[in-house]
Amino acid sequence: MSLGYVVNEGFAGFKRARLASFTAIFSLFIAVLLLGILARISYNVYEVAESLKKSIDVEVFLVDLDQRTTNELQAKLKKKKDIQEVNYISKDSAAAIFKEEFGSGAG
């Protein structure tokens, strides 16, 4: 069987069974289209999740720890691979920031 014969018979099959050929081609078109749309939506969701992951900020309020314990805790947090930055704000600085954001009449 030669390649030319197979190709000719393939195209001849399209002429003989037009409805079946159209249905098969259209079904494949719809399947590939839906697969592409799903891939694009999945990629967009991935991008949104990555951007949200980068913008997460966590604030931790410590209850009256001495300076040595605070420094040890800060050093342990800095060693974690998921934590990019650690900032310590003292009680007095936090109170000043609070007054600046909410006004002098708050609290």
Residue in 94, 76, 74 with CA at minimum distance from that of residue 86: 74
Residue with tokens 């691979």: 81
The upper half-sphere exposure of residue 5, i.e. CA atoms within 13 Å in the direction of its Cβ, equals 2
CB within 8 A of 71, min separation 6: which ones?
A: none
Query: Which pLDDT tens digits describe the chain residue by residue (107 residues)?
Result: 789 998 888 888 888 888 988 999 999 999 999 999 999 999 999 999 999 888 888 888 778 888 898 889 889 988 988 888 888 888 888 888 888 888 776 55
Q: Look up the pTM and report it.
A: 0.51
Token duo for residue 68: 């040595």
